[in-house]
Copies of this chain bind each other. A is one copy, B any other.
Amino acid sequence: MNASRSPVRQSSVRAHNLALVLQTVANSADRPSRAAISASTGLTRATVSALVDDLIAGHLLTELDPAPRTGAGRPAAGLALTPDGPGGLGLEINVDYLAACVVDLTGAVRHRFVTRADQRLLPPAAALAELGALAAQAQAAAGADGIELAGAALAVPGLVAADGLVRVAPNLGWSDVDVPALLNLGLPLTVDNEANLAALGELRTDGGPPTFLYVSGEIGIGAGIVLDGELYRGGRGWSGEIGHVTVYPDGRPCRCGANGCLEQYAGQEAVAADPDLAAAALGIALSAVVNLLDLGVIVLGGGYAPEFDRLRDGIDAELSRRVLTAGLAPVTLRAATLGADAAMRGAADVVISGVRDDPASWLARPQAV
């Protein structure tokens, strides 16, 4: 049961069940009727009706004319997420580009803006001002579509503390940048690591497995760990630093000060120079992850995705040799499906997930106007 620390009142019951209904619709391939929701959740039809009424009134669900027909009986009214309800603003800042996108409640990307420019040449405040301008464009486009943005999330290639402070972003040359103070969009802003958000982006696609490791190979190597459908951020939010897992204890010196870090053998340059070496090193590090966390699926993203075919066999060889349970259950290796947009998409998804996981708070929000 895992009782959390907070008391439950009747209104929490309603909040929970609102979320349950909304998510049932979201996870449904077709357009479920109230009766279908009732059957799949275990709530009464009467209760579902009442909850659906609230969700429709709050512009989270819409009724669609006729759902696909079946046998006899009164025809059902199909329910679906509204495309013109709340939306999420996804932002990304990386070494050579800035990006912003607007995703609606259904998960569709409605607008997408990218600016290519080397961010390493700018001080953080200037880079964030650029990003703010891009975000303003996106906000205007969302407004024109009748989408009310529920919040924004920003993907950063670095270590981020819980309050949005970027402690280090080596490839941007940032340290201790207080992003929320420098980037005021008039929206709640979440800041998180790029690999973490990309992992969440992957999670949302194709209803992938709820437990996997997403590995992003850019200049540095980061990983997002998704356990049971939830991102694991670690005690201080700094999990997933697979790039500095030791592969060869006395190997090449790394810019972090240690020797033999994965990054030195499977970073972007290393992959280009010697894919076999990179695959072996990745295989060794990933074996450690699987031995520790018992993950059944590993998703290669970022710069690894286009190189997937060249890396696959080399990684698999090490996995099958070094993973203790390889004989009992296989480890599936696959390429990311979202490409370069993964982190930005994941960022926007975080925002809309917030609404989908807690519609009651959204419905009770202090209304503008």
Residues of A whose CB lies within 8 Å of any CB of B are 1-3, 5-10, 12-13, 15-17, 19-20, 23, 41-43, 159, 167-168, 211, 223, 225, 227, 230, 232-249, 256-258, 261, 280, 284-285, 287-289, 291-296, 321-325, 328-329, 357-358, 361
Contacts and interface: CB of A to CB of B under 8 A. Distances in A.
A246 to B, nearest CB: 5
A239 B1 contact: no
Given A1-B357, A1-B358, A240-B292, 10 more contacts: A3-B357, A6-B20, A211-B234, A238-B294, A242-B292, A244-B322, A246-B284, A248-B249, A256-B324, A289-B292
Nearest to A257: B321
Nearest to A287: B246
B236 A325 contact: yes
27 contacts: A1-B19, A2-B230, A2-B357, A3-B19, A3-B357, A7-B41, A7-B43, A8-B12, A8-B16, A159-B325, A167-B328, A211-B234, A234-B293, A235-B294, A236-B294, A236-B328, A238-B324, A239-B294, A240-B294, A241-B294, A241-B324, A244-B291, A244-B324, A245-B287, A245-B291, A249-B284, A261-B322
A325 B236 CA distance: 10
Contacts of A16: 1, 3, 7-8
Contacts of A225: 292-293
A215 to B, nearest CB: 11
Given A8-B17, A322-B258, A236 B2 contact: no
B236 A293 contact: no
Of A10, A41, A168, A288, most B-chain CB atoms within 10 Å: A288
A352 to B, nearest CB: 14
A176 B357 CA distance: 40
A329 B249 contact: no
Contacts of A20: 3, 5-8
Given A211-B235, A324-B256, A329-B236, A245 B6 contact: no
Nearest to A230: B2
